[in-house]
């Protein structure tokens, strides 16, 4: 009995050592684990930003008096706006058409009279909707400035602000609403998907292509040993990639990590296993690198990118697509990551997501156990 165990341990050790040597000697594995995170971090940390800053705003003030001047100047005090004054709305609209402006705030000549009166509104806003995201943000910011100024004005004049609904808005967890702070944690899920699914499935496909898998399958190796022999090294590589990304995220972009490191490690390990299970499943179907790469990109990488809530908000997707996102493991991990980094160990959020990942892992492992066998066709 102990001899059988010793043999099994030796086979597994041989497999793991071989895999390490190959990872070490193959620059592409190292590149995916350590160079790619750097590239992605720079891209998403510096290149992609979902924040609007330095919005070029046209201010059309038809009648300059103390109220209109006071309101117009409040835009100049904001970090987000670069205001330019126009005296005529047509001139400003021309500038908007030619994309010299991102938005216009129009203060009509009766601005002061209309203030504090129930509708119609005293200001009109035009934004360039070509970039829908930026337009929404711009409109929101303008609204924020408007309500802020209006509130202050009402208080100074000792009057109740007479708007139908009073909005009191405060952003929690990411109070400055810096998009980098929720993009960068999401990247961890992308990088782990690449290592666990893409790299792993392609490495196994390469073994089929080169005929080494056939030679290995003809030895007394057991299926669980084959699986573990692939899982262990790439698990370690994936976790190393994750830690590396976390260090870079904190060091380079000052992304806060408000949750505990233990919770991050636990959920990361679980997600890594799910990603590896997907990689193993793909390699059962695909026995050449090209097909394995294609499948991995389409069923693991792209969904992790698009449908996980990493960039695009799941809540604003059409209902059928929202349903589909439940099949994307990265969705649960991205939710956990964003919570851990920005809010903290909020277990009521983390636990259901961990549960969903554990369920997926279980299902994948059952399929693998049933489908994986030592016959080659």
Partner 1 sequence: MDSMALRLQQVSRSFGDGNAATRALDGISLDIHSGEVTGLIGPDGAGKTTLMRLCATLLAPDQGSVEVLGIDALADPIAVQSRIGYMPQRFGLYEDLTVQENLDLYADLQGLAVARRVTRYRELMEMTGLSPFTGRLAGKLSGGMKQKLGLACALLREPELLLLDEATVGVDPVSRRELWQIVYRQVREYGMSVLLSTAYLDEAERCDRVALLHQGRLLGMDRPAAFSAPLDGDCYRLDIPNGVSARRLQRRLQEHPSIADALIEGETLRVVTWPGQAPTPDLLAPEFTALAFTPLAPRFEDAFIRLLRRPEEKPTQLPSLKQTGTPAAQDIVIRAEHLERRFGDFLAVKGISFAVRRGEIFGLLGANGAGKSTTFRMLCGLLPVSSGHVSVAGHDLRHAAASARQRLGYMAQRFSLYGNLTVQQNLRFFSASYGLRGARQRERIDWALQNFELRPFAGHKAIDLSLGYKQRLAFAAALMHEPEILFLDEPTSGVDPIARREFWARTNALAEAGITILVTTHFMEEANYCDKLVIMAEGDILAEGTPAQIKQQARSPQHPNPSMEDAFITLIEGHEVAA
The reply on whether position 112 binds partner 1 by CB under 8 A is no
Partnered with residue 106 across adjacent β-strands are 60, 124
**Is residue 377 a contact residue for partner 1 (CB under 8 A)?**
yes
Strands (E), the chain: 55-61, 81-86, 103-107, 123-127
In the list 121, 124, 218, 269, the residue contacting partner 1 (rule: CB under 8 A) is 218
115 touches partner 1 by CB under 8 A: no
**Distance separating alpha carbons of residues 135 and 328, to the nearest angstrom:** 30
Residue 259, C-beta contacts closer than 8 angstroms, at least 6 positions apart: 339, 340, 341, 343, 344, 345, 346
Q: Which residues contact 17 (CB under 8 A, 6 or more apart)?
A: none
25 part of the interface to partner 1, by CB under 8 A:
yes
Q: Are 142 and 125 in contact (CB under 8 A)?
A: yes
Residues in the chain: 377
Among 116, 135, 217, 228, binds partner 1 (CB under 8 A): 217
Distance CA 215, CA 86 (A): 78
Instruction: State the Cα–Cα distance between residues 72 and 87, nearest whole angstrom.
Output: 13
Q: Is 73 in the site for partner 1 (CB under 8 A)?
A: no
Residue 14 engages partner 1 in binding (rule: CB under 8 A):
yes
371 lies in the binding site for partner 1 (CB under 8 A): no
Residue 230 lies near partner 1 (rule: CB under 8 A): no
Q: Which is nearer to partner 1, 170 or 375 (CB)?
A: 375
Of the residues 100, 155, 222, 326, which one makes contact with partner 1 according to CB under 8 A = 222
Indicate whether 315 belongs to the interface with partner 1 (CB under 8 A). no
CA-to-CA distance for 145 and 128, rounded, in angstroms?
Answer: 18
Q: Which of 28, 87, 117, 212 binds partner 1 (CB under 8 A)?
A: 212
Contact between 11 and partner 1 per CB under 8 A: yes
215 is a contact residue toward partner 1 (CB under 8 A): yes
List the interface residues with partner 1, window 157-186 (CB under 8 A). Answer: none
Tell me the sheet residues that pair with 59. Answer: 85, 105
Binding site for partner 1 (CB under 8 A): 7, 10-11, 13-15, 17-18, 21-22, 25-26, 210-212, 214-222, 374-377
């Amino acid at each position: 009995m102990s001899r059988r165990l010793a043999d099994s341990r030796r086979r597994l050790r041989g497999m793991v050592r071989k895999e390490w040597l190959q990872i070490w000697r193959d620059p592409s594995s190292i590149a995916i684990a350590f160079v790619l995170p750097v590239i992605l971090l720079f891209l998403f940390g510096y290149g992609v930003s979902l924040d609007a800053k330095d919005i070029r705003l046209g201010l059309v003030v038809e009648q300059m008096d103390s109220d209109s001047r006071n309101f117009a100047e409040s835009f100049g005090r904001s970090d987000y706006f670069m205001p330019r004054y126009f005296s005529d709305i047509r001139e400003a609209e021309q500038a908007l058409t030619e994309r010299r402006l991102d938005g216009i705030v129009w203060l009509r000549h009766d601005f002061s009279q209309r203030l504090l009166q129930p509708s119609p509104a005293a200001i009109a806003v035009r934004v360039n909707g070509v970039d829908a995201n930026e337009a929404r943000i711009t409109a929101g910011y303008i609204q924020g400035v408007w309500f802020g100024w209006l509130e202050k004005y009402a208080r100074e004049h000792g009057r109740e602000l007479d708007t139908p609904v009073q909005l009191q808005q405060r952003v929690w967890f990411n109070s400055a609403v810096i998009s980098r702070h929720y993009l960068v944690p999401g990247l961890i899920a992308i990088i782990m998907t690449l290592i666990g699914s893409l790299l792993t499935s392609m490495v196994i496909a390469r073994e089929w292509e080169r005929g080494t898998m056939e030679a290995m399958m003809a030895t007394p190796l057991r299926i669980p040993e084959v699986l573990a022999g692939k899982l262990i090294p790439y698990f370690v590589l994936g976790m190393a990639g994750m830690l590396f990304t976390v260090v870079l995220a904190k060091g380079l972009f000052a992304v806060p990590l408000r949750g505990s490191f233990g919770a991050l490690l636990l959920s990361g390990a679980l997600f890594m296993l799910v990603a590896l299970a997907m990689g193993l499943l793909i390699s059962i179907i695909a026995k050449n690198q090209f097909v394995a790469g294609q499948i991995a990109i389409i069923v693991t990488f792209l969904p992790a990118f698009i449908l996980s809530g990493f960039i695009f908000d799941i809540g604003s997707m059409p209902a059928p697509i929202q349903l589909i996102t439940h099949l994307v493991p990265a969705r649960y991990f991205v939710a956990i990551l964003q919570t851990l980094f920005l809010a903290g160990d909020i277990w009521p959020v983390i636990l259901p997501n961990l549960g969903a990942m554990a369920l997926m892992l279980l299902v994948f492992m059952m399929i693998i156990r049933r489908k994986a066998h030592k016959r080659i066709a």
